[in-house]
Chains A and B, each alone.
Chain A
Amino acid sequence: MTEAAPSPLLRVTGLTHRYGEIVACRDISFELFAREVLGVVGESGSGKTTLLNCCSAHLEPTAGRVEYDTRTHGLADVFGLREPERRMLMRTDWGVVHQNPRDGLRMDVTAGGNVAERLIMTGARHYGRVRGEATTWMDRVELELDRVDDPPKTYTGGMQQRLQIARNLVTKPRLVFMDEPTGGLDVSVQARLLDLLRGLVRELGIAAIVVTHDLAVTRLLADRLMVMRRGEVVETGLTDQVLDDPQNPYTQLLVSSVLQV
């Protein structure tokens, strides 16, 4: 099939992570290809955030491998990279959108500065150009440009989340990790943010792993779904197939438990 990329962007093999006696993730394997959005669902404690943290190199798994298609070495074990290489990867090729914007933003630095920071970290020096890029991105995530010099602590939750997205996308990452991206937001703000995310991901051709307990979010954002329970993947497949014709008993329970509005 010509559509499938020859080599995955991310390959996870036999990933297991234990916190003492507790097994948070057990023997998880999957591949993610360029431009693909993978949703990871499951209830609290299912291990989905641990999996995300291992994939994004924030947490070294107890066993197993996480390989990423690096620009210089091709597919390489992210925990085998030298520290500066890994740091560069995290600053340029990858983005992380946290559930709580406070974890992804510097609350006392101006909004423009927050967006510019990742550019500067990757070597941009020209002030005018950096500021120009920062304002362009604030505009793309529909933030008012007269707020560019205000710190994010003066922003609403929805604005902070959009700023966090701008901060991540400014370096044109190939892979973005999102942990409950709409989690703490009012429902009225969620739809707009989801539409924005969906548009940007498609337009920029970004691959993403989106962890959420909200099945509606995955229907809108994810191409493919992975259902987790007690640290294991119990079902995986095309998003609408898993949601509309779930095969696994736990997935059936999860899908049938959602209240209809």
Chain B
Amino acid sequence: MEPLIEVRGLAKTFTLHTQKGARIPVFEKLDLVVHAGECVALYGPSGCGKSSLLRSLYANYLPQAGEVLVRHRDARIDMVKAEPSTVLAVRRETIGYVSQFLRVIPRIPALEAVAEPLRALGTDAEAAGRRAADLLGRLNVPEGLWSLAPATFSGGEQQRVNIARGFVVDYPIMLLDEPTAALDADNRQGVVELILGAKERGAGVVGIFHDDEVREAVADRVFDLRDFAAAA
């Protein structure tokens, strides 16, 4: 079966023009294949480029070389070269991304923030709200908070709102940047179950998991970024 993601010869280097043009090579000649139903854990010490790779898969970062081929509808899209409108369509329908920190419009209630990705796909407000409520419940976000804006929530509560938002659509591909970093053991378990559920329905998952237990529970294999370190 054709993979969900196929990365070929990817390279990422930052050039800091405001700091005397300093060049920070991150990775190069990176190949990665992700199939339906598998979870790949990105591995390596801080600064080795785990987040940069994840962001490159989502077209949030622009790699300097290589391709990120993603199966979207019946086509294969190169996220490195795709037009912005195409990238946005891929993000709406095909790739979900859970960042380390919640970033939503100020003063929007948590329930609406979670339902928003579904609404963008045309789901009606009521059905999207039900699905959002179900996820917030499963992640133990107290019901009293659902109608409030998340800005004042605790770090752990914000992170769970963020996870709910990422899982509200059944995306074929999920990218997870330390989804359990701010959570205690009980809440970590809720996230583990969501990830296992996503794999069950055939999603391909790429994630950064600092917690060994979580990684062992969800990952099928570990992808070590140190194998692709770029020469400085």
Contact check, B59 vs A191: say whether CB atoms are below 8 A apart. Answer: no
**Interface residue A102 (Cβ < 8 Å from any Cβ of B):** no
**Interface residue A192 (Cβ < 8 Å from any Cβ of B):** yes
Contact check, B108 vs A195: say whether CB atoms are below 8 A apart. Answer: yes
Interface SS, B side: mixed
Q: Which residues of B sit under 8 angstroms from A238, Cβ to Cβ?
A: 59, 84, 87-88
Q: Which residues of B sit under 8 angstroms from A192, Cβ to Cβ?
A: 107
- Cβ of B94 to closest chain A Cβ, rounded Å: 12
Number of interface residues of B (CB under 8 A): 26
**Interface residue B123 (Cβ < 8 Å from any Cβ of A):** no
Taking beta carbons and an 8 Å cutoff, which residues of A are in contact with B?
1-4, 33, 36, 191-192, 194-195, 198, 202, 220, 223-224, 237-241, 244-245, 247-249, 252-253, 256
Known A1-B86, A195-B105: A252·B60 in contact at CB below 8 Å: no
Taking beta carbons and an 8 Å cutoff, which residues of B are in contact with A?
14-18, 55, 59-62, 73, 75, 77, 82-89, 105-108, 120
- Out of A3, A198, A244, which one reaches B85, CB within 8 Å? A3
A220–B113 Cα gap in the complex (Å)? 13
Contact check, B62 vs A3: say whether CB atoms are below 8 A apart. Answer: no
Q: Which residue of A lies closest to B106 (CB)?
A: A191
Contact check, B85 vs A223: say whether CB atoms are below 8 A apart. Answer: yes
Contact check, B105 vs A241: say whether CB atoms are below 8 A apart. Answer: no
A114–B60 Cα gap in the complex (Å)? 42
Q: Which residues of A sit under 8 angstroms from B59, Cβ to Cβ?
A: 238, 241
A1–B83 Cα gap in the complex (Å)? 10
- Out of A3, A195, A240, which one reaches B89, CB within 8 Å? A3
Q: Which residues of B sit under 8 angstroms from A256, Cβ to Cβ?
A: 18
